[in-house]
Chain A
Amino acid sequence: MATHPYIPNSVPAVRDAMLREVGATSTEEFFADIPAALRMQSPLDLPAPHLSEARLKRHVDGLLRKNQHCGVHLSFLGGGCYQHHVPAVCDEINGRSEFATAYAGEPYDDHGRFQALFEYCSMMGALLEMDVVNVPVYDGMQAAATTVRMASRHTGRRRVLVAGNINPDKLSVMRNYGRADLDFVIAPFDAATGLLDQTALASLLDQETAALYVDVPSFLGTIDDGAALAAAAHAVGALFVVGVDPLSLGVLATPASYGADIVCGDIQPLGMHMNYGGGQGGFIASHDDPAIVMQYPSRLFGIAPTSVPGEYGFGDVAYSRTSFDKRENGNEFVGTAAALWGITAGVFLALMGPQGMGELATGIAQRTAYAKQRLARIPGLRIAHGGSCHFREFAVNFDGTGLPVAAINAALLKQGVFGGHDLSADFPALGQSALYAFSEVHTQEDIDLLCATIEKAIQQ
């Protein structure tokens, strides 16, 4: 092919000179060790390329134009990925060439990467009131899956009790991830309140239980009583593990304050665009108990002096825990995951500060409450767990309208509105219900428009 801008030595004269230098007549000689039977017999059958940047952009822009996005449509989707305003500085920093293209440099030539990630962990530690936070894993689901394995190794027990009101996809990830070594038991939740059934829970916790895993808020937006759950878990010697929406912590208590031993969650709400699910990143946090710290599979960065007084240095803490050091004898595995989103979440937390986090979470709680009141007034609609408090999202039941969620959502879409996530497949007991999420991007006008559009859809 012609000389390509990404391949400097594709210039024929340069290529030929290099071949001569190494005593080869063609690049074919380098593949001499590959048996003929293993060689591709025909060229790769791929679509014709768009060789110029201009035509490539035109092609991809054409594809992306087929999408309808939340910058234009009004969206009330949530369920693990949330629309928030992303501060411009977050994008400015994660778009920096140095951060975007760095990888595995040393604490010296990548001092800035180590410091930025240490600061991310430190600000998460401040938000969570915990002393240990890991370098991000893939997403909140992976974080949850790892926390219960950590609890199992720590306690020497196999049984994990998981709250029934968590995201079903998260449960699927946890089950597959823990399958070889864990036994999962599901704790039922009360149909009326959306909260865990404390009586059932007490009967399911036993001396074999490694961990009680709960999401606060739950997938359905409800908020369980953390202190009661912590006491129940600790009474049988199990660890209390809480998955938390970090953004809620501007107003909700930290899991550490009500007794959580390990905390995890997803940092997507902290400055990541939704990216069709590509903005997820997982965190795990705990107290600085060496027995727990040694159970982390992930990178942990620490602060340390250097040979120059007054200079900050950073590096890997207890690297011998990891599979990088010990292969199958390390904890689980570690690899490339979501570090750039960690740096970005750090920028977000620094911009928000204590006041911003408080105002943001309070405003979301208020919009959630307002939307609950407004939606509850629509004939035929019912807030599924209306007597409970919610943060950010809640289930709306449409049974009284005689219409399935799919029909409501189709009618909303015609008006440029993405209605709530349809829960009917995953939570059949909730009937025709949808999960509606709210954030600071929504104005009163947006919420009123949603209600008016739903009313119109029902009437038609």
Chain B
Amino acid sequence: MKTMENIASHRQQSVRRYHQARWDEPVIFELSQPGERGILVPEVEPAIAQAGQPLAGLPASMLRQHPPALPEMSQNRVLRHYLRLSQETLGADLNVDVGQGTCTMKYNPKINDQLARQPGMSELHPRQPDSTVQGILEVIGKLEGVMREVSGMDAVSLQPRGGSQAIFANISMVRAWHESRGEAGQRDEIITTIFSHPSDAACAKLVGYKVITIYPDADGYPDLAALKAAVSPRTAALVITNPEDTGIFNSRIREFVDAVHAVGGLCVYDQANANGLLGIARAREAGFDLCHFNLHKTFATPHACGGPAVGAVCCTAQLAPFLPGPLLREQHGRYQLVKGGEQSIGKISSFAGAAPIMLRAYAWIMNLGGEGLRTVSEIAVLNNNYMMHELLKIDGMAAPYAPGKRRIEQVRYSWSALTEATGVTSEEIGLRAADFGVHYWTSHHPYLVPEPATIEPTESYSRADLDEFIGVMRHIAGEARSNPDVVKTAPHNCPTHRVQGDVLDDPERWAITWRAYQRKLGERGLA
């Protein structure tokens, strides 16, 4: 009998022998072959062609003189180029995407994409009569209902096309509310926290407010004493996340809200990521006036390289008159879009927002139901506490603040002990992680937690998936001590290597398009 090999017995247990696709693909302009066509467009019929020179009445300067310098490629060559680029992209479907904390990289069910790509969704024009779009309006109406129930709020707009635009809408409503009471001039400050999303602070500034930023106290909670010192008759609103990026639930949140309400300010809850709290706790019970959810985070729509997306704005009845229009009304099962009210902040984006994203979120919710949403949160939180328990066994990794406390949906870790011992930074660990097929992110700036990593496992990953990610972290921490160079020169197994980043900050050499690159090379005689 010939020997038979047990292949599995030779498989390395700790990390995967991974290499990402590396196609060394040219920039698309280099693939151009004059005369090739990617697609043909319909010809006009003779009667239309004979309708005259349609633009002859324009000044010559309004007509294009030279065809655009686009690549010329046959169809399969375009397809192949982009398929190769897709293979050089590590989507969430392919990796245990728990390393992009705060962003809730959960499974985006394929059925929802399939449903949204049907002509009954994709071929709807947003200006069609309401009577011809009752199906999508019903989806939007029912999704608004879900958002009301999940937040406890009274009114909803799904018009914002992203979380940051939802924050902007909410803060615009804050301004409109104070204007309606004649207090806009007096109230010129918004308070937020350093662990809240950068857009919370940025949008407050954009709407015209001075931004006051609260830092954490020694236990990692937003500093209540600092808040109490900051509130005044100038306070327009508090914009805050809970739990913050640390994953520690701020149990005194009601005191924050009460302190702001006591001086006449409003409270805005950034719930972009609410993945640990579905059916557990709501904005309403904590006393908030406004909140928002990112459908592309908590409600499982794909992140799509960064949109399209939806930020669902929710508010109490007293803020509802300020919502952006159009608003959806339902009567006897018939749906109608109506203009925003007289006090509305106006339009936030085109039409009624990104409807196919709403359809996907609706389908996800309707597949899970109320009990299922609660299970989502319970398992997401279990997974997070399991990961923290295991990751903290790695020498050099810590979870600053509130020792011994459980966390909600994510944890901001710190590698500072490892960095001090080895010189290897969190950013370098992230680049090395890519060599094993997992993505990893540090945190938003500023790095208040030194050498940060933010890990959020969501409900989507199995215990074995989580163990694999933990194994990668353990392996890299070991490398940092035994062979730091392999970490510091990573990535090795990606489509490309370390980028010369200084070029990107130098106006003389940065090139934001191919034509700018060619021009700058030409100016140096290098083209």
Contacts and interface: CB of A to CB of B under 8 A. Distances in A.
Interface stretch (B9-17, B273-281, B410-418, B478-486): B273-281
A17 B519 CA distance: 62
Contacts of B150: 44
B230 interface: no
A145 B240 CA distance: 26
A429 interface: no
Contact of B305 (A49, A317, A343): A343
A56 B300 CA distance: 16
Given A46-B365, A103-B105, A278-B355, A370 B58 contact: no
A403 interface: no
Given A276-B356, A352-B70, A81 B379 contact: no
A397 interface: no
A327 to B, nearest CB: 4
B355 A277 contact: yes
B474 interface: no
A63 B330 CA distance: 15
A212 B457 CA distance: 49
A83 interface: yes
B263 interface: no
Contact of B307 (A24, A138, A313): A138
B254 interface: yes
A338 B349 CA distance: 12
Given A47-B369, A315-B504, A335 B164 contact: yes
Given A64-B118, A252-B62, A278-B354, A327 B306 contact: no
B253 to A, nearest CB: 7
Interface in B73-127: 73, 75, 78-79, 81-94, 97, 100, 103, 105-109, 111, 113-115, 117-127
A359 B67 CA distance: 11
Given A67-B132, A173-B348, A357-B70, A135 B503 contact: no
Interface in A325-360: 325-330, 332-341, 343, 346-347, 349-360
B495 A111 contact: yes
Given A43-B279, A311-B496, A4 B510 contact: no
A317 B368 CA distance: 42
A355 B201 contact: no
A122 B202 contact: no
Interface string A54-93: 0011011101111111111101011111010101010111
A44 B279 contact: yes
Given A273-B123, A317-B510, A354-B68, A49 B431 contact: no
Contacts of B251: 33-35
Contacts of A320: 505
Nearest to A390: B54
B260 interface: no
Contact of A318 (B362, B504, B514): B504
A105 B89 contact: yes
B236 interface: no
Contacts of A203: none
A373 B251 CA distance: 70
A71 B120 CA distance: 8
Interface stretch (A156-164, A220-228, A450-458): A220-228
Given A336-B309, A369-B51, A113 B89 contact: yes
Contacts of A353: 36-38, 70-73
B268 interface: no
A415 interface: no
A67 B512 contact: no
A169 interface: yes
The bracket for how many chain B residues form the interface is: 35 or more
Contacts of B59: 225, 227
Nearest to A314: B499
Given A9-B383, A31-B280, A173-B349, A37 B61 contact: no
A96 B73 contact: no
A107 B496 contact: yes
Interface in B355-398: 355-357, 359, 362-363, 365-376, 378-379, 381-383, 385-386, 389
A313 B280 contact: no
Interface string A353-378: 11111111001011111100100000
Contact of A103 (B113, B128, B305, B405): B305
A27 B382 contact: yes
A97 interface: yes
B504 A317 contact: yes
Interface string A165-195: 0000100110111011100000000000000
Contacts of B300: 6
Contacts of A347: 78, 82
B165 interface: yes
Contacts of A106: 430-431, 434, 439
Contacts of A27: 378-379, 381-382
Interface in B334-361: 345-357, 359
A9 B162 contact: no
A94 to B, nearest CB: 8
B217 interface: no
Contact of B204 (A50, A73, A328): A328
A66 B135 contact: yes
Contacts of B465: 8
Nearest to A15: B382
Given A30-B385, A327-B201, A338-B307, A56 B367 contact: yes
B138 A63 contact: yes
Given A116-B82, A328-B202, A339-B307, A251 B64 contact: yes
Given A44-B150, A332-B206, A64 B51 contact: no
Nearest to B335: A66
B91 A9 contact: no
A282 B84 CA distance: 26
A276 B351 contact: yes
B502 to A, nearest CB: 9
B351 A81 contact: yes
Contacts of B501: 304, 315
Given A108-B496, A122-B27, 8 more contacts: A4-B368, A98-B89, A98-B91, A101-B303, A127-B70, A142-B161, A169-B351, A317-B512
17 contacts: A9-B462, A49-B366, A57-B111, A67-B120, A70-B128, A77-B128, A107-B496, A109-B434, A127-B70, A266-B350, A276-B124, A313-B499, A316-B504, A317-B505, A343-B82, A356-B37, A418-B125
